[in-house]
A and B are shown apart, each in its own frame.
Chain A
Amino acid sequence: MSDLTHLSLADARDALKSKKISAVELTKAHLGAMESARALNCFITETPELALAQAQASDEKLASGQAGPLEGLPLGIKDLYCSKGVRTTAASRILSNFTPPYESTVSGNLIRDGAVTLGKLNLDEFAMGSSNETSAFGPVISPWKRHGDPDAKIVPGGSSGGSSAAVAAHLCLGATATDTGGSIRQPAAFTGTVGVKPTYGRCSRWGIVAFASSLDQAGPITRTVRDAAIMLRSMAGHDPKDTTSVDAPVPDYEKAIGASVKGRRIGVPKEYRLDGISDEIAAFWDQGVAWLKEAGAEIVEISLPHTKYALPTYYIIAPAEASSNLARYDGVRYGLREQGRDITDMYEKTRAKGFGAEVRRRIMIGTYVLSAGYYDAYYVRAQKVRSLIKRDFDTVFAAGVDAVLTPATPSTAFAQGEQGSTDPVEMYLNDVFTVTVNMAGLPGIAVPGGLAANGLPLGLQLIGRPFDEETLFSLAHAIEAAAPKFDFPQPWWR
């Protein structure tokens, strides 16, 4: 085989099982790709020695017939997942020297199933951002280029921008990611990859650096829908260490790939046809509807009346939870410490130096909406509106809709510095189509649908019933099969 990094995760798995390739060969190919792609800044920490040791162990297991479902498959791990004995930074200066003595449950599940871990992937600081420009370790550059604009550095989306760029650039077969308001699906859409935000509770949050605990969920980014199904099966499952993780069997999601979508009812929400949505995105959405119709699905117009309040609600609830979660970074037990004249001064200087501008801003907003006199007006009201947003979906699903189809993002990827430099809210609008899913705890998948006129990828989003990821995989696969094929970018970065 000419280039092992061009295998899908499923094909690599099958080639390993049939002994056509070895895990060490496959891992070396990816380590080479990783080293030659440092210009993209996808990885914060590379762990080649660990990866090779894992690959050697995988080859032994493959030889002795004890291989796990992901045996020998090289993956990247978002640097929000704690890795035992490997520096874990959350892309923040405050954690720049933190080495966890434990492994997050989800990355541990992948390792249990035989995965090879290549290193820790860059992200927006504490997963707060939509372009990977807030990382304390520098922005990630997407492998994609806009037509006629070779110098523009395109963003890979965020917060899981290292994950999406590394998968699109063939540096790993798949990557872990996390999604609080769109941080898996938006970067997947920006890079022509597949991203799954599972139902809240499907994956354990234990050992993943917390952003907003009622919204955070782990999921995969891959190049195909089948690969995402394979990864999610290993990532998901009950964990006694996370009380919100659900004690329910994990289906073999791969079996949903190729299942008929005939007669499935697909809701198309009229409120997502925003004023100002571009003609290209609107036409692309219509195209997605047509693909599912041709595959036999039934299309119904639906109403989700509280859609326009989802993003403002998110920008109260997420910062509120973040301000509470990030209170732990105090310069005492781990992380950066700055000296102060007393303990309060030490806290304040440590946090001022350790957190970047976006993180400081969100902590302050969160502190404000939780503070005496504002709690009811902001936080409690937002929690009530969140009930209404969830009720919108409950109503639609109770009426027999199996899944909802929307665009994943309001635009294709933009270039560094083009958004949010004067007004933070401009950047927040990237999550306008994805954030409702987190508010309601539902599963969502972003699936590529081809390229826009500017040469950059376009993604569709499917939203499902709680714990019905299988239907999303079937529908996303139908879209993948119908959509025009495209090639990932040639490695100009080498």
Chain B
Amino acid sequence: MSVDSAVVRRIAHLSRIAVEENEVERLRGELNAILAFVETLAEVDVEGVDPIASVLPMQMKKRADVVTDGGIADEVLANAPVKEDHYFVVPKVIE
């Protein structure tokens, strides 16, 4: 399988990465090189093989459903690029 420039633009948008028009052709070539490289997996017989779930035979541990942390809003917000009081600020999303 290989991708065309429309698919490159669609993947970029799904990835939420802005792509300039003059980058599309180069990206198309690079993505197709990688896709050609992984194409070889099509020849493996995977009939009856389960997709791997975990490399170790272990049960997912569950912790008690109790509050162990909190009350640190200042720390949570310390690295926010834009904040107001104890809120993260984003561009308007509802008209």
Contact = CB atoms under 8 A, between A and B. Distances in A.
Nearest to A340: B91
B49 A384 contact: yes
Contact of A440 (B13, B33, B55): B55
Interface of B: 1, 3, 7-8, 11-19, 27, 30-31, 33-35, 37-42, 44, 46, 49-52, 54-56, 58, 60-61, 63, 72, 75-76, 78-82, 88, 90-93
Nearest to B46: A384
B61 A200 contact: no
Given A243-B60, A380-B51, A355 B17 contact: yes
Contacts of A440: 55
The 6 closest A-B CB pairs, nearest first, are: A441-B55, A383-B51, A334-B79, A337-B81, A352-B18, A348-B18
Contacts of A351: 15-18
Contacts of B61: 240, 243, 247
A483 to B, nearest CB: 31
A243 B55 CA distance: 14
A172 interface: no
Interface stretch (A97-105, A142-150, A401-409): A97-105
Contacts of A199: 56
Contact of A385 (B27, B44, B60, B76): B44
Contacts of B93: 342-343
Interface of A: 97-101, 199-201, 214, 240, 243-244, 246-247, 306, 308-309, 311-313, 315-316, 323, 327, 330-337, 340-349, 351-352, 355, 360-361, 363-365, 367-368, 371, 374, 377-378, 380-388, 390, 423-425, 428, 439-441, 466
Contacts of A346: 90-91
B44 to A, nearest CB: 5
A368 B31 contact: yes
Contacts of B42: 381
Given A201-B58, A334-B80, A387 B37 contact: no
A384 B51 contact: yes
5 contacts: A316-B41, A323-B15, A333-B80, A342-B92, A368-B11
Contacts of A423: 33
Nearest to B49: A384
Contact of B50 (A361, A387, A439, A441): A387
A388 B11 contact: no
A368 B3 contact: yes
Given A306-B44, A367-B14, A381-B41, A388 B49 contact: yes
A385 B46 contact: yes
Contacts of A313: 38, 41
A348 B41 contact: no
Contacts of A386: 51-52
Contacts of A383: 51-52
B41 A363 contact: no
Contacts of B38: 312-313, 315-316, 378, 382
